Amino acid sequence: MHWREIIRRPVITEKSNYLASEHNQYTFVVDSRANKLQIKEAIELAWPNVSVEKVRVLNMPAKRARRWRRMTTRKPGYKKAIVSLLPGDSIDLFEGVI
């Protein structure tokens, strides 16, 4: 797989911003078929000046919600990766945003 297929999007939440600023860890939604080695290589290819120390992977479950009486909706499950970088490295997720 190409690295653009592996990394889907970054997760931007209060918790992920805290992890990035305090612990140098970044969170991404990744392809469900990708493993830790592929995720590490994809991050290092996307940002060439970054070295990955550790990758943790979580499979997020599908969620179901009930609307009205009989209609139910379903959000599909996805895979999330928390990537720890070496000290001194950082990723600029908002590069070029004014």
Q: What is the pLDDT of residue 73?
A: 83
86 secondary structure, DSSP code: P
Domain-located, residue 90: no
Can you tell me the distance from the alpha carbon of 9 to that of 33, in angstroms, rounded to the nearest whole number?
Answer: 15
pLDDT, residue 68, reads 75
Task: Tell me which residues of the chain have a pLDDT lower than 70.
Answer: 96-98
**Range(s) of the domain holding residue 54:** 3-85
| Cα 87 to Cα 1: distance, rounded to the nearest angstrom | 28
pLDDT of residue 64: 83
Q: Look at residues 26, 40, 33, 27 and name the one whose alpha carbon lies nearest to residue 5.
A: 33
| d(C-alpha 84, C-alpha 33), whole Å | 20
Task: Specify the number of domains making up the chain.
Answer: 1
Predicted local distance difference test score (pLDDT) of residue 67? 75
Q: Does residue 93 sit within a domain? A: no
CATH number of the domain encompassing residue 74: 3.30.70.330
**Would you state the pLDDT for residue 15?**
95
Three-state SS at 23? helix
Establish if 92 belongs to a structural domain. no
Q: Is residue 97 part of a domain?
A: no
